[in-house]
């Protein structure tokens, strides 16, 4: 059976930075590579497109081997049929939309009639026909992105790579273009790999997300899976949860889960041993005195900082482990929230999710 899509094993070293990842993108899937600056996201695109070569690895697109250190295969970029849309779109800015889109068909020396058919189809597909003769300089950021995508399609790309596709857009345009790109990628019937550092872009555009830190994949899954089961502090921060690796005692009922020196009390009858604990900042209550009541978890904490959000205060705490609390302004009344202040933090056992 022919496997459609992209499979890539990539290992490379750039100075002191080491990249070692495996990626799979289905034949009609958009995978978003999400991570902080310097994590290796754009390097992955360069290696797949052929702008750089891995030290070792294998890249296969729709059963065509693009690169393989074991067999010595290393197709040049122009033979890979990979459409790379750069962060700044890399268009011929003084030329028209049509001249940009026809670049690929001309480079492939298609007969005139076939070339015109491809160009017309790609312009129509990206809703560019009406502005085909306008110079790119006169276009909005969203229109330029559509031109870049049309140019990639006109080059008969079998894979789309998009590097920070929303970085050059203002906040007003960004939401509209994000939705447009999502619709286009769903209809394109091509595998697509999108790089971003913005979690909202990733959750809206991606069918699945691959989180990369320090040149390594730390978690791959749907947005819902990452929200439900974040596995690193970076992922937890992306999805807005407190997350800890812990060791859970055996048994049933209320039992101890130890994260470093801090003991949480949780409910997880079916689990024991190495687990993750997760709870929302809004599940953390703060008080200036030890609690009385139904909280099974109470920690003496120190305030590290507090920040004002539109509808609440976000307080970063040292509880022996890092902890974040979101509280209302009413709840903050009477609390000392200056850095170094001592407080009590409380979390109900029923608010803590426990998973392997």
Task: Please list the alpha-helical segments (H only) found in the chain.
Answer: 41-49, 97-101, 103-107, 112-125, 141-154, 171-187, 199-205, 223-228, 233-239, 329-332
The CATH number for 116's domain is: 3.40.50.300
Q: Per-residue pLDDT averaged across 206-235, rounded?
A: 89
Residue 203 and residue 102 share a domain: yes
Domain end marker among 217, 237, 257: 237
Residue 113 and residue 15 share a domain: yes
Number of domain units in the chain: 2
Task: State the pTM of this model.
Answer: 0.73
Residue 148 and residue 21 share a domain: yes
The CATH number for 325's domain is: 2.40.50.100
Residue 301 and residue 222 share a domain: no
Least confident of 12-26, 139-153, 251-265: 139-153
Domain end marker among 204, 237, 270: 237
| b/e code 250-262 from CB counts within 10 Å (16+ = b) | eeeeebebebeee
174 in helix, strand or coil? helix
Counting Cα atoms < 13 Å in the Cβ hemisphere of 119 gives: 22
Least confident of 30-34, 44-48, 199-203, 329-333: 199-203
Domain end marker among 215, 237, 259: 237
Residue 249 and residue 233 share a domain: no
- pLDDT tens figures, 298-312: 999 999 999 888 788
Residue 191 and residue 54 share a domain: yes
Query: Which residues are paired to 220 by β-bridges?
Result: 210
Least confident of 46-55, 153-162, 165-174, 190-199: 165-174
| pLDDT exceeds cutoff 50 at 1 | no
Reading the block at residue 48, the tokens are: 């797949």
Give dist(CA 317, CA 323) in Å, integer.
5
Residue 28 and residue 91 share a domain: yes
Domain carrying residue 337: 245-355
Nearest to residue 344, comparing CAs of 318, 322, 310, 305?
Answer: 318
Task: Starting at the earlier edge strand, list the strands of the sheet with 159-163.
Answer: 82-85, 159-163, 192-196, 30-34, 208-213, 216-221
| pLDDT exceeds cutoff 70 at 274 | yes
Q: Per-residue pLDDT averaged across 127-142, rounded?
A: 85
Residue 311 and residue 177 share a domain: no
Residue 177 and residue 39 share a domain: yes
Q: Could you say which DSSP state residue 251 is in? A: S
Residue 185 and residue 260 share a domain: no
Residue 153 and residue 12 share a domain: yes
CA angle 77, 78, 82 (to 5 degrees): 70
Query: Which residues are paired to 355 by β-bridges?
Result: 276
Residue 168 and residue 228 share a domain: yes
């Amino acid at each position: 059976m022919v496997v459609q899509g992209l499979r890539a094993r990539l290992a490379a070293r750039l100075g002191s930075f080491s990249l070692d990842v495996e990626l799979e993108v289905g034949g009609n899937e958009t995978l978003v590579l999400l991570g902080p600056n310097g994590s290796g996201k754009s390097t992955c695109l360069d290696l797949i497109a052929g702008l750089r070569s891995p030290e070792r690895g294998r890249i296969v697109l729709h059963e065509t081997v693009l690169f393989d250190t074991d067999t010595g295969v290393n197709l040049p970029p122009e033979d890979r049929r990979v459409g790379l849309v750069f962060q700044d779109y890399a268009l011929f800015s003084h030329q028209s939309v049509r001249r940009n889109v026809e670049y690929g068909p001309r480079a492939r020396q298609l007969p005139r009639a076939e070339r015109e058919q491809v160009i017309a189809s790609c312009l129509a597909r990206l809703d560019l026909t009406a502005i085909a003769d306008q110079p790119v300089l006169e276009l909005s950021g969203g229109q330029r992105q559509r031109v870049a995508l049309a140019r990639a399609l006109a080059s008969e790309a079998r894979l789309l790579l998009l590097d920070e596709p929303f970085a050059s857009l203002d906040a007003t345009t960004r939401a509209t273009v994000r939705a447009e790109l999502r619709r286009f990628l769903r209809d394109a019937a091509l595998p697509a790999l999108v790089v971003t550092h913005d979690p909202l872009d990733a959750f809206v555009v991606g069918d699945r997300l691959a989180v990369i830190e320090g040149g390594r994949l730390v978690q791959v899954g749907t947005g819902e899976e990452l929200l439900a089961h974040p596995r690193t502090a970076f992922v937890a921060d992306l999805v807005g949860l407190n997350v800890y690796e812990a060791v859970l005692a055996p048994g049933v009922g209320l039992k101890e889960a130890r994260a470093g020196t801090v003991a949480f009390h949780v409910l997880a009858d079916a689990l024991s041993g190495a687990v993750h604990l997760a709870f929302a900042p809004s599940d953390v209550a703060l008080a200036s005195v030890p609690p009385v009541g139904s909280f099974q978890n109470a920690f003496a904490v120190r305030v590290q900082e507090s920040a004002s959000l539109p509808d609440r205060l976000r307080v970063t705490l040292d509880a022996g482990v890092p902890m974040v609390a979101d509280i209302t302004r009413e709840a903050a009344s009477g609390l000392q929230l200056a850095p170094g202040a001592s407080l009590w933090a409380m979390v109900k056992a029923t608010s803590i999710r426990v998973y392997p």
